[in-house]
Amino acid sequence: MALYRDTPLPLYFQLMLELREKVLKKLEPGAVIPSERELCERFRVSRITVRKATEELTAGGEIYKIHGKGTFKTRNPESSVRTLTYVIYDIAMAAYPGRERAIRAMTEVAERRGYHFVVRGFNAASGNAGFRDFAFRENNGGCIISVQELTPEDIAEIRRRRIPCVFMNQSEGYCVCAPFSAAGRLAAEWLKRWRVRSTALFVPSPDLPDNRAYLESFRKAFDSEASLAIRELPYQREAASAALESFLAAGRLPEALVCADDLLAAGCSDVLARCGLRGKVSLCGLGNTCLAGELGFSSIDLHSEECARAAAELLADVLEGKAPPAPHSIVIQPELRERTLQ
């Protein structure tokens, strides 16, 4: 099948129409559609053109994607499929350690309950209206919002428009969370069991509510007889490595390192391994992502997969009129997963 290249109609739009008329109409709901490579060969177009066409069909709820399994025709025979949209700060965060488990859990819930699942990120650098311009486009479903940078104006606009939402970082309306305050307390209690005399705490920006709650709770529960050095770092593995190397250069090796994110703990683990210090310094992260398991450091489990599944179920209940009256919170308590560096 060839598309017309001597017409002002864009190739991706032609392909979208062809897929709708000559592929999707022939498939049963839930059936897998041909792969990107097959579509490239069949219609003699580039992969970029195929992706643009399938993105349009995905946004319209006519097809949906499941990571690692393929792309499928929606099970809902209606033309306007309701959508569960997972809103994150930046689309690149979808690849953040541990996030893929949350996305997979939400996708499974959406598929089982007959919804189309979409992940969207926005760039707040566009100004205060960035989130509102992004999130308040017309849609026929609701949003699971995992964004801490919301302004009071954002919240007010969500309320005004009565957009169905479940928050994962805000105590508003419907929310699902593993409280970071409890995680900070667990990290401090972990230190007490080790009876360390010196600790370094690496924490991302406390301007964000979750990080601030973690830091405040940790400080409150921390044993004041031990020395504590706190460093604020960006969410970068290399930044944690550099911070720990500066401690070593100054001859100030802490007995324990506490990181308010597994990515930072991984950076510390890199330095400990490189300097032959594994097993000599206790290390605890936050998130219990694949990094903690692979590198063997302790971590506070935020149950991201369980929280994600609960958020998707709750949003579906809201859309179907089955949810309890708001405000309604589901709180999933963090747990320490202790490991010993070898």
Write out the DSSP string of 18-61: HIIIIIGGGSPTTPBPPPHHHHHHHHT--HHHHHHHHHHHHHTT
Structural domain including 37 reads: 11-73
Q: Where is pLDDT greater, at 134 or 62?
A: 62
CATH, residue 60: 1.10.10.10
- The reply to whether 60 and 165 lie within a common domain is no
As a whole number of angstroms, the distance between CA 138 and CA 124 comes to 20
Three-point CA angle 189, 260, 201, nearest 5° = 70
SS3 134: helix
User: Helix, strand, coil proportions of the chain in percent (round to 5)?
Assistant: 45, 20, 35
- The reply to whether 193 and 44 lie within a common domain is no
pLDDT of residue 141: 82
As a whole number of angstroms, the distance between CA 26 and CA 37 comes to 20
Q: Where is pLDDT greater, at 302 or 67?
A: 302
Residue carrying structure tokens 């989130």: 131
- The reply to whether 105 and 172 lie within a common domain is yes
Q: Are 184 and 218 in contact (CB under 8 A)?
A: yes
Q: What is the pLDDT of residues 327-336, one digit of tens each?
A: 999 999 999 9
Average pLDDT over residues 149-170: 82
- The reply to whether 31 and 103 lie within a common domain is no
Q: With bands split at pLDDT 50, 70 and 90, how would you rate the model's confidence at 2? A: low
- The reply to whether 88 and 170 lie within a common domain is yes
- Decide if 2 is inside a domain: no
Q: Which of 16-20, 64-68, 99-103 has the lowest mean pLDDT?
A: 64-68
pLDDT of residue 8: 65
Average pLDDT over residues 196-207: 91
Q: With bands split at pLDDT 50, 70 and 90, how would you rate the model's confidence at 311? A: very high
- The reply to whether 245 and 320 lie within a common domain is no
Q: With bands split at pLDDT 50, 70 and 90, how would you rate the model's confidence at 315? A: very high
- Decide if 298 is inside a domain: yes
Which pTM value belongs to this model?
A: 0.73
In 93-198, alpha helices (H):
99-112, 130-135, 152-161, 180-194
160 token code pair? 């005004």
Q: With bands split at pLDDT 50, 70 and 90, how would you rate the model's confidence at 278? A: confident
Q: What is the mean pLDDT of the chain?
A: 85
Q: Nearest 10 degrees: CA dihedral of 304, 311, 95, 107? A: 120
- Decide if 336 is inside a domain: no
Q: Is the pLDDT of residue 128 over 60?
A: no
- Give the number of domains in the chain: 3
- The reply to whether 19 and 132 lie within a common domain is no
- The reply to whether 296 and 310 lie within a common domain is no
Q: Is the pLDDT of residue 192 over 80?
A: yes
HSE of 7, CA atoms in CB hemisphere, 13 A: 9
pLDDT of residue 139: 60
CATH, residue 217: 3.40.50.2300
Average pLDDT over residues 243-267: 94
- Decide if 340 is inside a domain: no
- The reply to whether 186 and 259 lie within a common domain is yes
pLDDT of residue 96: 80
Q: Is the pLDDT of residue 73 over 60?
A: yes
The b-or-e profile of 177-210 (16+ CB within 10 A means b, else e) is bbbbbbbbbbbbebbeeeebeebbbbbbebeeeb
Domain end (from 73, 95, 127): 73
How much of the chain exceeds pLDDT 70, in percent? Answer: 88
Q: Is the pLDDT of residue 117 over 80?
A: yes
- The reply to whether 194 and 248 lie within a common domain is yes
- Decide if 341 is inside a domain: no
pLDDT of residue 78: 47
SS3 63: strand
Q: Where is pLDDT greater, at 192 or 201?
A: 201
pLDDT of residue 138: 55
SS3 289: coil
Average pLDDT over residues 14-37: 86
Most confidently modeled range among 85-94, 222-231, 301-310? 301-310
Average pLDDT over residues 307-328: 92
pLDDT of residue 81: 60
- Decide if 167 is inside a domain: yes
- Decide if 6 is inside a domain: no
Q: With bands split at pLDDT 50, 70 and 90, how would you rate the model's confidence at 153? A: confident
As a whole number of angstroms, the distance between CA 113 and CA 61 comes to 14
Q: Is the pLDDT of residue 225 over 80?
A: no
Residue 25: exposure state from Cβ atoms within 10 A (0-12, 13-18, ≥19): exposed
- Decide if 256 is inside a domain: yes
- The reply to whether 186 and 297 lie within a common domain is yes
Q: Is the pLDDT of residue 166 over 70?
A: yes
pLDDT of residue 158: 79
Q: Which of 21-25, 200-204, 241-245, 271-275 has the lowest mean pLDDT?
A: 21-25
As a whole number of angstroms, the distance between CA 253 and CA 248 comes to 6
284 token code pair? 């605890």
- The reply to whether 253 and 199 lie within a common domain is yes
As a whole number of angstroms, the distance between CA 183 and CA 160 comes to 34
